[in-house]
Structure formats: structure tokens, C-alpha cells
Amino acid sequence: MSKRKFDDDVFEYMGNGQTVVPKDVVSVRFHPSVVDVEEEAFRDCTELKEVVFNEGLKSIGQHAFEKCTSLESIVFPSTATNVGEEAFSGCYNLEKVVLNEGFKKIGKLAFAHSHSLESIDFPSTLEETGNMAFRGSHIKNLILNEGLKKVESGSFDNCNSLKSVTLSSSVVDIGRTAFHYSQRLREVAFQESLQTIGYRAFSGCHSLERITFPTISNRLSIIIQAGQYPSIEAKIDEVRGVIERRGSDLFVDAEAMKELDQWNTLTIVNFDWNPIKESREKIVSWIRYYEINEAATLFELALWKANLDRASDMTREACRTRGKYRSTRDKYRAEVPGPVKDAILQYL
């Protein structure tokens, strides 16, 4: 059984049922052999301020650090992959959480009511955030990682310091009440991959002013700046529906959102997201159309240039020739292969 080391006031945690954790522990160091933190191991250790995990640690058990109200920061080792349910729930003074690459799962209510937690970086390996994982935290600006497919139900419920949310392109589903009653939330950035927004996902978000589409807007900006397709803006305006356009900036404003909510409150169940989804898909189809045209042009130019490089005696007219070549030196003409044409023509 491990014992507290009075010389440096650091408690060494051995795990595996061998450790009796004193409730007045202030600082803890994990033995190199520890793989899992047992359930409720440090629960209600209200004086605990410092935790040093060992490399080799893989998981944090349920309620392991619940209500450790003096804990200010947690840095997980590179070997850690998951945090159990309510593992750090009620850690009111927890300000810093570092999740390293390799981390995969955050359990239900894992960091709920961590009122001092203002920011967190999500690793690209994160696959799941449990229901209400950050409920009541004070995260201000949320950027979700690529690879995460769903924002689980209530994940950021009652996050009253939250001002902006940027979804990754991998997110396809926002769960029920995901951002419920985050009253200072002003802007949400959607990607074209998003398919489902759950029941009351943004209910009570009274400050929500804009839904933006940064990736789609950037694609539109590239086409507009190229200047080759002046008709694209008119085409987008024909189909944009509830989505507004200013230059290449695409967004849904507060007035449009109120029209989709019969009570103008964003608090009721039947807020209709379908018009937004439908408008977005129509706009993306036109952007894709012009991107395909541009790609086809560049492809033909590349072939033409390659043929010039291969046959120094070939004339420009020969490179432009279509149909069967008429002479030996025409045989390197810039003909787009049939399969490529078929792929292009389905969008034309």
C-alpha cells in the first residue's frame, strides 16, 4: 500500500485498490504502473490542487475527481484515451484542461459545472463527447475538431459564456439540446456536411444573431475573385432562400431565424431548419458546378502543356485539334479522356 510522503507533501497514487486516498490530499503523483484511475478515487477531495499523471495511464474512472473544488488544471498524458462519466464534474475552479492527440472519448457530464473552464482544445482523435459533457462550463469560443461526427445531447447546455461555435466539416449531427440556453451565443458556423439538428438544440439562445457558412463562403470567394464566372453571384441569389449574401459572405441573420420560429423566441420545439438546409444544398450545387468547370479547364490546359513538352515540333493548331488526328505529329493532341468527360458532364 502506498503512503503519503510528508517530506514533499506529495501523495503517490498506486491504483488497483491498493491506495487509500486521504481526503485532505493537496498534491498527487501517479506511480508509473497505473493504467486506470479507479471510480470515485479522489471524489470530494476538496483541497486537491495538483495532479501529475503518469505516461501509460489510459483511462479516468467515473466520478474519479468529482467535486475536487480546488483543482485548477489537468494535463492528460499522451497515452490517455478516455474520461468516464462525471469524472471532473463540479470542479468549480478548473481552468485548464489539456487533451493530447490520441484522446477518443469524453464521458457523460465529465466536465459539467466546471464554472472556471473557459477554453479547451479538442484533439483530432476525439470521437465522442458524452451527453452534457460540458454543461454549465464557461467556455467562450468553441472550435470542434475534425473527426468528431456528432455533438451529443446537451453537450454545451447552459454554457452562458459561450459566444461562438465553429463546427468541423466532419460533424453531421447536432444532438438534442446541445447548446440549449447558452444565452450569450451570438454566432454559429455550419459546414456543408451538417445534416441533422436535434430537438431544441439552440432553444433559449436569445442572443443568436448569425449562422455562417465559412467553408462554403470561402469556396464562393475563390470563384468570384477569379473573375471568370460573373454569372455565379446572380445564380446564387436565385436559389439562396433564407440565406443572405454579401459579396462572398453567406449567412442567416436573426430576422430570417425568427421567420422560421412562429413565436420569434428560438425556444419552441418546432423550429424549422429544413429551409436553411435546402438553401445551403442549392448554393453548394452551383458552387460545385463552377468548380467543376474551372477544374475541367485547368485539366485541359495541363494536358495541352504536357503535349507541347512531349512534342517540340507540334503546332499549337495540332494541340487544339479534336477528333481523330490527321497526321503523325498531331497524335499528342489535348484530348480529355472519356471517363473524365463523363464525370464532368454529370454536373453540366
Whether 331 has a pLDDT exceeding 60, the answer reads no
Which of residues 119, 139, 159 is at a domain's end? 139
CATH number at residue 82: 3.80.10.10
Residue 102 resides in a domain: yes
What CA–CA distance (Å, rounded) separates 207 from 199? 19
Q: How far is CA 321 from the centre of its chain?
A: 48
Residue 152 resides in a domain: no
Residue 213 resides in a domain: no
What CA–CA distance (Å, rounded) separates 7 from 19? 19
What CA–CA distance (Å, rounded) separates 348 from 338? 15
For the residues 271-289, what does the mean pLDDT come to? 88
pLDDT-above-90 percentage for the chain: 56
Residue 308 resides in a domain: yes
Whether 217 has a pLDDT exceeding 90, the answer reads yes
Which of residues 121, 139, 157 is at a domain's end? 139
Extract the C-alpha cell encoding 51: 495532479
Q: What is the pLDDT of residues 34-70, one digit of tens each?
A: 999 999 999 999 999 999 999 999 999 999 999 999 9
Per the model's pLDDT, the better-predicted residue between 174 and 321 turns out to be 174
Provide the residue range defining the domain that includes 301. 286-345
pTM score: 0.78
**pLDDT, mean over the chain:** 83
Whether 316 has a pLDDT exceeding 70, the answer reads no
Residue 311 resides in a domain: yes
Extract the C-alpha cell encoding 155: 453537450
What is the rounded (10 degree) CA torsion for 186, 279, 197, 260? 70
Residue 228 resides in a domain: no
Residue 281 resides in a domain: no
Find the range with the poorest average confidence among 107-111, 150-154, 288-292, 311-315.
Answer: 311-315
For the residues 307-324, what does the mean pLDDT come to? 55
Residue 302 resides in a domain: yes
What CA–CA distance (Å, rounded) separates 34 from 347? 57
What CA–CA distance (Å, rounded) separates 66 from 46? 9
Which of residues 94, 123, 139 is at a domain's end? 139
Find the range with the poorest average confidence among 96-110, 210-224, 277-291, 321-335.
Answer: 321-335
What CA–CA distance (Å, rounded) separates 87 from 332? 67
The number of folded domains in the chain is 2
Q: Using pLDDT thresholds of 50, 70 and 90, give the confidence band for residue 126.
A: very high
* Predicted pLDDT of residue 283: 94
CB 11 within 8 A of CB 22: yes
